[in-house]
Chain A
Amino acid sequence: MNIKLKIWRQKNAQAKGKFENYSLEDVSPEMGFLEMLDYLNQKLIKSGGEPVAYEHDCREGICGSCGMYINGRPHGPEAKTTTCELRMRSFKDGDTITIEPFRSRMFPIIKDLLIDRTAFEKILIAGGFISADTGSAPEANSILVCKKHADKAFDMATCIGCGACVAACKNSSAMLFVSAKINQYALLPQGKIEAPERVKKMVAKMDELGFGSCSNTYACEAECPKGISVSAIAKMNREFLHAKLIAED
């Protein structure tokens, strides 16, 4: 396959970036998207150029670091797929692929496609934990967990914090991410205790950092590589209203 690439290049956080065009020959359809970028970088290094900086770690869809905005979609054209799971067979010979970093005021660019997701960390620090001393694994039957809730909590825990929801949202809203984290804890007995405090603190932090509000356009759900549903957002709103209006401190 012959591929044309239009990639956002930016020296550092302060620099004014711009798009650069590249073309690659003999890209195989079996190549992963990131392998294709590695292949480009090899060529750039050999010709004395600066390789394209992008983040990656696990390359198996579990760490959430490889997010980039490919042809107008976070993580590219396939549903429920991270960039590292994307294959070149999703593109056609002769295609031009435009790659941009995730854009949001809360995710400043470090270099090229590399962004700083510390804002997510700050939201988690505000309340994304349980204060109980975990110690060693407790006896299995001492705290009963309903199977349905355990499954649901696990679904929520599959959020890898990639930021695709923020990147896709026209408002840069972090509601899907925050709701996944909130529900993951609120559904389990150990997490339920602090649920009202947690939701208030995490939502306040999300607002303070400047993430936009939710317009219910559901672009987040469409782009989440883990298929987290917007029903998580509705549940967070219920938790939030309960915490604000009903729960006692």
Chain B
Amino acid sequence: MGKFNLKPSTISSKVVMAIAGLFLMTFLIVHLGINMLMLLGDEGNAFGKAVSFMTYNPGIKIFEYVLFGGFIIHMIIGALIEVKNYFARPVKYAVSNNSNTSFFSKYMIHTGILIFIFLILHFTHFFFVKLKLVELPACAAHEHDFFTITKYLFKSPYYAGIYIICFIFLGLHLNHAFQSAFQTLGLNHPKYTPAIKVISSIYAIGITLGFSMITLYFYFFYTL
């Protein structure tokens, strides 16, 4: 081992960020999977069971802390490298760059910040209710009654709209993020990289459509 270096290199920072990001991406699949249970038409029975399992299982509790840590690390590194990158070119070009690159790969910090703002809103709707940090909405029976909270929330065209717009920006972040994480970790191969890029887009579209579908279901088809 060499001398321990307190200032991590740009590569190490990005590797940590990529691992945290990939972890968040696995969580999103689990989250979507559980939410899909709301579409079963059983008045949230199966969904409620899954929620109590997730709430009381000690293993999941640990997972929750790791998840939070991952989020915070991902965001802090993202913000720090963005600042460093900004100062690497103090005088900007008069003609903005015309190079042939994928558009949203240049706006990860912007889609990221939007996701962060959305998360605050999302937490006040659900997570903070569970933690009793915000008042229990009048419709809900108890602080784990997410099914009822959801069905009332998405009857509002504003919230349904805001959520869907945010799912689209989340998708744009993920579309670049998935394949980018592989490249950062050094996993680039002429045979597999094209496939990873396709899976990246399928994943992003799947997450956006999946979550949006639930929102649209409550807005259009569910009668209170």
Tell me the complex Cα distance, A215–B98, Å: 17
B 85-101 binary contact with A (CB < 8 Å = 1; else 0): 10111111111111111
B84 / chain A contacts, CB cutoff of 8 Å: 210, 212-213
A residues near B, CB below 8 A? 8, 19, 69, 71-74, 98, 100, 103-106, 168, 170-173, 200, 203-204, 206-207, 210-219, 222-223, 230-231, 233-238, 240-241, 244, 249
| Residue pair A105, B11 in contact (C-beta under 8 Å) | no
Closest chain A residue to B108, Cβ basis? A215
**Are A219 and B188 in contact, CB atoms less than 8 angstroms apart?**
no
Asked if B186 and A234 make an inter-chain contact with CB atoms under 8 angstroms apart, the answer reads yes
Does B106 interact with chain A (Cβ within 8 Å)? yes
Given contacts A71-B98, A215-B108, contact A203 B91 (CB under 8 A): no
Ranked 10 nearest A-B pairs via Cβ: A234-B188, A238-B186, A72-B98, A213-B10, A171-B85, A172-B88, A212-B85, A212-B88, A237-B186, A72-B95
Q: Which listed residue (A103, A204, A222) contacts B99, Cβ 8 A?
A: A222
Given that A72-B97, A203-B11 are contacting pairs, would A217 and B87 also be in contact in the complex, using a CB cutoff of 8 Å? Answer: no
B residues in contact (CB < 8 Å) with A: 1-2, 7, 9-15, 81, 84-85, 87-102, 105-106, 108, 176, 179-180, 183-190, 193
Q: How far is the CA of A9 from the CA of B9 in the complex (A)?
A: 36
CB-defined contacts of B186 to chain A, threshold 8 Å: 234-238, 241
A244 vs B185: C-alpha distance when bound (angstroms): 13
Please report whether the interface of chain A is mostly helix, strand, loop or mixed according to DSSP: mixed
- Evaluate contact between A211 and B188: CB separation under 8 angstroms: no
The reply to whether B95 and A98 form a contact with Cβ atoms under 8 Å apart is: yes
Which of A100, A214, A215 has its CB near the most chain B CB atoms (within 10 A)? A215
Is chain B's interface secondary structure helix, strand, loop, or mixed overall?
Answer: loop
Please measure, in the bound complex, the distance between the C-alpha atom of A72 and the C-alpha atom of B187, giving whole angstroms: 31
Q: Does B101 contact A218, Cβ atoms closer than 8 Å?
A: yes
| Cβ B88 vs Cβ A216 within 8 A | no
Is A207 a contact of B10 with CB atoms below 8 Å?
yes
Cα(A73)–Cα(B102), bound, Å:
15
Instruction: Please name the residue on chain B nearest to A244 by beta carbon.
Output: B12
Tell me whether A222 and B91 are in contact (CB under 8 A): no
Q: Roughly how many angstroms separate A8 CA and B30 CA in the complex, as a whole number? A: 54
Across the interface, which residues of A come within 8 angstroms of B188, CB to CB? Answer: 230-231, 233-235
Cβ contacts under 8 Å, B187 to chain A: 234
CA distance A236 to B10 in the complex (A): 12
Report the separation of the CA atoms of residues A234 and B15 in the bound assembly, to the nearest whole angstrom.
Answer: 11
Distance of A173 from chain B, by nearest CB (Å): 8
A-B contact pairs, 15 of them (CB 8 A): A71-B98, A72-B97, A72-B98, A72-B99, A100-B94, A105-B87, A105-B90, A207-B9, A210-B84, A213-B13, A217-B102, A217-B105, A222-B101, A234-B188, A235-B188
Chain A: minimal CB distance from B103 (Å):
10
Q: CA of A235 to CA of B183 in the docked complex: distance in angstroms?
A: 9
Complex Cα distance, B84 from A106, in Å, reads 13
Collect the chain B residues with CB atoms within 8 Å of residue A234's CB.
183, 186-188
**A204-B15 CB under 8 A given contacts A71-B95, A222-B101:** no
Known: A171-B81, A215-B108, A233-B183. 15 other contacts (CB 8 A): A100-B95, A103-B89, A170-B97, A171-B89, A172-B88, A212-B10, A218-B102, A219-B101, A222-B99, A222-B101, A234-B187, A235-B186, A236-B186, A237-B11, A237-B185
> Does B88 contact A171, Cβ atoms closer than 8 Å?
yes
User: In chain A, what residue has the closest Cβ to B89?
Assistant: A172
Residue on A nearest B181 in the bound complex, by CB:
A216
Query: Taking A100-B93, A218-B101, A222-B100 as contacts, is the C-beta distance between A204 and B106 under 8 angstroms?
Result: no
